[in-house]
Structure 1
Amino acid sequence: ALLERRDGSVIPILHTINTLVGHTIAGRSAREGQRESKPPPPPGQIILFRELGAPGPLPIHPAKPRYDALTRLLDRYAIIDRIEEALNDCRKNGTPYALCYIDLDRFRLVNATCGHEAGDDLLQWVATRVHEIVGPKDAAGRIGGDEFVLLLADKSEREAERIARDLQICLLEFRFGWAEKTFSIGASIGLVVLTPHFERAVDVLGAADHACRIAKENGRGRLQVYLDDQQMTTSRRSMQWVASLQRHLAEGRLRLYAQGIHPLVKPGAAHTPRGAHFEVLVRQLGEDGRFYSPVGIIQAAEQSGLIHVIDRYVARQAFRLIGALPQHALRRLDTCSINLSGVSLLREGLLDFIVEQLHRAQVPPSKICFEITETAALANLGEVLWFMQELGAMGCRFAIDDFGSGHASYGYLESLPVDYVKIDGMFVRDLQDNSLHRAIVESVHRIGDTLGIKTVAEQVENQEIADLLTSMGIHYAQGWHFDKPQPLVDLCASLRAQGDPSDP
């Protein structure tokens, strides 16, 4: 059990409850050998508390709970045990349970700008808020760096959703202060209702984690309810695909595609035509011969720590295709953008691998731009800066991808040698109707202009949004309004077919 002190701190305790009858505890007289002349008072109970870890013998010896050292909430293994017990109760007695998977949205920003001491302080504050929700049959735990789990007993989906939203509002309204800096803290939450079809606790946890990731992908600060097992089935298939990753790559089941990045030019403005500018994407070749979005396998690769294998495969294949272009076709190519994950940036040997592959394929480094997500750049600022400086000295360029999705400050852009900032599509899709998103896009463009950084709007889907972006001064746009992704081999073939631009 947990006990909250007057100063607000929470400590783990062991407790015993004994029956008190008259002057007798557990059936023994407090005055043995003396006859009672008065009727005994009504029965009662005496409760004894002992802090875990306190010196001296413990009065009882139950299984020792496992707690997270920082927050004093249950750790991952203990919370899995509690979920297992809840599953058994659900199957036998039909007791309703719901599990909330809580992932803080801006924790890395606090850690990166204020240090781990500030991060620890924030985690303890969040743990206290989570603990305040816990009822006598509930359980709360910390299962990762900034990830918490809340198991709610005797709660319907609607009741659990209300509790989760109340917690979300509490976190969103909180302002965390540290060393004259103030941060707004939000959370994405995945909610799953326990049903007998879940075989194990880890399946429940995986479903809640999956729902939480969908909440983050949909714009963060959201609550996503896990509806059925279809997504879990898809996730399992993706994990199986990744388990045979090397074989699938060797069989060519991951194909490179490309989507254009197009300049936005105001009417009447002077414009010098440039060569092809595109981002390299991937598509998964299914058993039916059709191509599918690789989102599931990318997520599975990230979870299993194999995303760096895909990143290197994509870079190697892209370099080979570009390096095989004749000189006249290469002159028609301005920029080929390739994505690198945060995991890849931390893997030893990435820089050497890229330098070797560029040299082997004889690709001019100035033709290559590496896209790094905002969250990856912020989480690994020192490594990313060194990586950019080394490849930048060779002529490679860099873009910060999904800018705005991590809610970071603009300050770190000053310290990174960035050529492009790609504005996250969540701010672009509803640009016409959302004044806040419009203000954010305009703000990013102004900052970029000040720093000499070109801005790219992602997910542009119609002419009206393209016109609005052009009027703001955004430099480039990418999206289905301009073109759909096409196989990279086809794009390279079109560059070859256009002939030498120097020919009369």
Structure 2
Amino acid sequence: MIDKILNTRTILAVDDDPTNIHAVAGYLQPHGAKLLVANSGEKALEVLAQNIPDLIILDINMPGQSGIEVCRKIKQDTRLEQVPVLFLTGSVKDVSEAFAVGGVDYIVKPVRSEELLARVSTHIRLSQLVKSLDKANLLLESVNESLEMKVQERTLELVTVNKNLRIEIDERRRLQDKISYLSNYDFVTRMFNRNSMEQELKVVMETQSDADARSFLYYIDLDQFKIINDTCGHVAGDELLRQIAELLRGGFEFASICARMGGDEFAVLSQSLNLDDAIKRAHLIKDNIENHRFEWNEEVFKHSISMAVVEIDEGIDSVSHLLSIAERTCFESKRKGGGEVSIYNYSKDYIDKTQQQMKIIPLIHQAIEDNQFILYFQHICANNDSKLQKIEVLLRLQDESGKIKPPGHFIPVAERFHLITEIDKWVLKNTFKAISSLPENIIVSINLSGEFIIKSNAVELIRDLLLQHKVQPSRICFEITETSAISNIGATHRFMLELNETGCLFSLDDFGTGTSSYEYLKQLPVDFVKIDGMFVRDIENDEISRKMVESISGIARAKQIKVIAECVESEAALNIINNMGVDYYQGFVAHKPEPLMNLFTLVK
């Protein structure tokens, strides 16, 4: 069936990650699909200027023009406005905006064969149905005109012609009703779709008064929906969605409005006397859904939901604002591990903080594009007379006013919203370019995120930079935090082994904070261990900290691994770690971070 649908169909795949492009091609081309590819939004628009595909698979997060921007331009082009756009995303946080600009569906990366084929074939079939309906309408219009001419010319056949005309008109109306239904209702659950819910919310927000009943939006996300799709297939997933829809319809008053917002997310617009009443209703719905047993192929599944309750009041100024609050409040339930009901009033501080963080995202994008990041450095001092010098490269951000922002201002945001890999790339490219002019006795430590090191092209990028700038690998030490290494120990181990072969060094940063630190020290091929500053900062006053540093130093020496103590801020602390035999120290007692460009002056 899929071969019949995809054969000779032209599909444009747009993604800056060649791994995703190869995966999409590998899944679609065996079924006869003709694949066009582009590695950026700009390239995609160039391809579309010459071609009109049957479907577009579009990555949301790309350098340059994002998938959201590209989709908006596609939908403004009359040649392309009917081409379905299927988004690829690494996080469901982008889904709301993706649907808002005209996307028909989304797939969460990494791309899975079964899901991709099901979504692509479904939307190509729907697209072809709409095209067929459009052609039928044109044909019917032509038939109507022809019939009207015959009525005028052949009055003797009036009865017969009128009868045929009524049949044709009825068919046309049925087709138009079907198109209208599909534009306002979800095909799977027969509920309102997102567009219809937005229209209903707009009406409520424009007409609500100080009546006794108050309006609330309930936003619901199934926690284990992916398990059903992965284990039982998308047919089972659709059946589960239909059953959840029925539970929601039965759990609210007839006047309530229910909608499927996309994927496994639902929304209900309803009225209650007060917030406490709305919360009770939310818990009743939650219990009803979580007690439901979904049976498929003699297997029984139970599932939990994450839920948000938002009162629609004067503090919410638009439908998009309301949905943004609801989605973020629901995400707060997800963040707690799922199976939670979060109330906007109670979650407001967290959501407001998230919205503040969102404002930093454009600054990060601009800093990457306009080189507004600044490289700093700090000496790592040896407790011997080694002629080798070690420095750690640090990062700062300069805002529009010229103020220097510390990493704590933007790194957590970059990590949360998956921008950290682009920052790592910027740091690597600019650091290699800078240190190529420094003396060869300087070893440079560079911090890498856990998200970057699991990328398939991470090692290749570093090798290319080593060759491009003619930097000896032995001058480079990559610092990987213990928590990042533990989160994906297999990928970290492979990354370190491949670069160890070139001569690069590795340091395990923030050591001692993990639950199984020594076990991972045995597994990973590290050259240095950097003791977390929480054990060093107050070492002269805290006996437990001293014992921790002694323990880590002893284990490291047994494995012939050098030890670095960070956050050494006093002479007393320095004397203690020297007596313990720590190999290197780093902190304000020796050197405060300064711009990397200053180092070029110092070494002249």
TM-score with structure 2 setting the length: 0.46
Q: Extract unaligned runs of 5+ from structure 2.
A: 1-239, 253-284, 295-299, 317-329
TM-fit CA distance, 1:353: 0.4
Distance of aligned partners of 1:299 and 1:397 in 2 relative to their CA distance in 1, 3 Å threshold: same
**Is 1:337 matched with 2:445?**
yes
Q: Would the aligned equivalents of 1:338 and 1:370 in 2 still touch at CA under 8 Å?
A: yes
**Is 1:237 matched with 2:359?**
yes
Percent of residue pairs identical: 32
Query: Could you give the per-residue CA deviations for residues 170-197 of structure 1, whole angstroms, max 9, x where no partner exists?
Result: xxxxxxxxxxxxxxxxxxxxxxx947xx
> Which residues of 2 match residues 54-453 of structure 1 at below 5 A?
61-62=250-251, 65=286, 75-76=305-306, 78=307, 81-82=308-309, 84-85=310-311, 143-144=334-335, 147=337, 194=345, 204-206=349-351, 235-242=357-364, 245=365, 247-264=366-383, 271-325=384-438, 329-330=439-440, 332-333=441-442, 335-453=443-561
Distance of aligned partners of 1:140 and 1:317 in 2 relative to their CA distance in 1, 3 Å threshold: closer
Q: Would the aligned equivalents of 2:482 and 2:509 in 1 still touch at CA under 8 Å?
A: yes
Q: Would the aligned equivalents of 1:321 and 1:492 in 2 still touch at CA under 8 Å?
A: no
TM-fit CA distance, 1:71: 12
SS state of the match for residue 479, structure 1?
A: coil
Q: Would the aligned equivalents of 1:90 and 1:194 in 2 still touch at CA under 8 Å?
A: no
Q: Would the aligned equivalents of 1:400 and 1:420 in 2 still touch at CA under 8 Å?
A: yes
Query: Could you give the per-residue CA deviations for residues 12-53 of structure 1, whole angstroms, max 9, x where no partner exists?
Result: xxxxxxxxxxxxxxxxxxxxxxxxxxxxxxxxxxxxxxxxx9
SS state of the match for residue 314, structure 1?
A: helix
Distance of aligned partners of 1:438 and 1:248 in 2 relative to their CA distance in 1, 3 Å threshold: same
TM-fit CA distance, 1:272: 3.1
**Is 1:478 matched with 2:586?**
yes
Distance of aligned partners of 1:140 and 1:489 in 2 relative to their CA distance in 1, 3 Å threshold: closer
One-letter amino acid of the structure 1 residue matched with residue 251 of structure 2? P
In structure 2, C-alpha distance between the alignment counterparts of 1:360 and 1:293, rounded to whole Å: 30
Query: Could you give the per-residue CA deviations for residues 252-299 of structure 1, whole angstroms, max 9, x where no partner exists?
Result: 2101111111113xxxxxx43322201110111122223220222211
Select the structure of larger CA radius of gyration. 2
Distance of aligned partners of 1:72 and 1:443 in 2 relative to their CA distance in 1, 3 Å threshold: farther
In structure 2, C-alpha distance between the alignment counterparts of 1:487 and 1:346, rounded to whole Å: 29
Higher helix share: 2
One-letter amino acid of the structure 2 residue matched with residue 253 of structure 1? Q
Distance of aligned partners of 1:415 and 1:140 in 2 relative to their CA distance in 1, 3 Å threshold: closer
Aligned length: 307
In structure 1, C-alpha distance between the alignment counterparts of 2:339 and 2:552, rounded to whole Å: 35
Distance of aligned partners of 1:148 and 1:480 in 2 relative to their CA distance in 1, 3 Å threshold: farther
Q: Would the aligned equivalents of 1:278 and 1:337 in 2 still touch at CA under 8 Å?
A: yes
TM-fit CA distance, 1:465: 0.7
TM-fit CA distance, 1:233: 7.1
Distance of aligned partners of 1:413 and 1:255 in 2 relative to their CA distance in 1, 3 Å threshold: same
Where relative contact order (Cα < 8 A, 6+ residues apart) is larger, the structure is 1
**Is 1:493 matched with 2:601?**
yes
Q: Would the aligned equivalents of 1:258 and 1:281 in 2 still touch at CA under 8 Å?
A: yes
Distance of aligned partners of 1:72 and 1:364 in 2 relative to their CA distance in 1, 3 Å threshold: same
Q: Would the aligned equivalents of 1:399 and 1:419 in 2 still touch at CA under 8 Å?
A: yes
Q: Would the aligned equivalents of 2:537 and 2:568 in 1 still touch at CA under 8 Å?
A: yes
Distance of aligned partners of 1:299 and 1:71 in 2 relative to their CA distance in 1, 3 Å threshold: farther
Distance of aligned partners of 1:476 and 1:67 in 2 relative to their CA distance in 1, 3 Å threshold: farther
One-letter amino acid of the structure 2 residue matched with residue 300 of structure 1? V
Query: Could you give the per-residue CA deviations for residues 222-255 of structure 1, whole angstroms, max 9, x where no partner exists?
Result: xxxxxxxxx667534322313xx1x322322101
One-letter amino acid of the structure 2 residue matched with residue 414 of structure 1? K
In structure 1, C-alpha distance between the alignment counterparts of 2:359 and 2:590, rounded to whole Å: 33
Q: Would the aligned equivalents of 2:305 and 2:339 in 1 still touch at CA under 8 Å?
A: no
SS state of the match for residue 315, structure 1?
A: helix
Distance of aligned partners of 1:436 and 1:355 in 2 relative to their CA distance in 1, 3 Å threshold: same
TM-score with structure 1 setting the length: 0.55
Query: Could you give the per-residue CA deviations for residues 440-486 of structure 1, whole angstroms, max 9, x where no partner exists?
Result: 11111111111111111111111111111111111111111111111
Q: Would the aligned equivalents of 2:360 and 2:413 in 1 still touch at CA under 8 Å?
A: yes
In structure 1, C-alpha distance between the alignment counterparts of 2:332 and 2:368, rounded to whole Å: 39
Distance of aligned partners of 1:304 and 1:236 in 2 relative to their CA distance in 1, 3 Å threshold: closer
In structure 2, C-alpha distance between the alignment counterparts of 1:71 and 1:483, rounded to whole Å: 59
One-letter amino acid of the structure 2 residue matched with residue 480 of structure 1? F
Q: Which residue of 561, 568, 574 corresponds with 1:466?
A: 574
SS state of the match for residue 484, structure 1?
A: coil
Q: Extract unaligned runs of 5+ from structure 1.
A: 1-52, 92-138, 154-192, 196-200, 208-230, 265-270, 498-504
Query: Could you give the per-residue CA deviations for residues 402-424 of structure 1, whole angstroms, max 9, x where no partner exists?
Result: 11222333012112110111111
Q: Would the aligned equivalents of 2:564 and 2:583 in 1 still touch at CA under 8 Å?
A: yes
Distance of aligned partners of 1:90 and 1:234 in 2 relative to their CA distance in 1, 3 Å threshold: closer
Question: Residue 454 of structure 1 corresponds to which residue in structure 2?
Answer: 562
Higher strand share: 1
Query: Could you give the per-residue CA deviations for residues 388-445 of structure 1, whole angstroms, max 9, x where no partner exists?
Result: 1111011100001111222333012112110111111111112122222221111111
SS state of the match for residue 568, structure 2?
A: coil
In structure 2, C-alpha distance between the alignment counterparts of 1:445 and 1:323, rounded to whole Å: 33
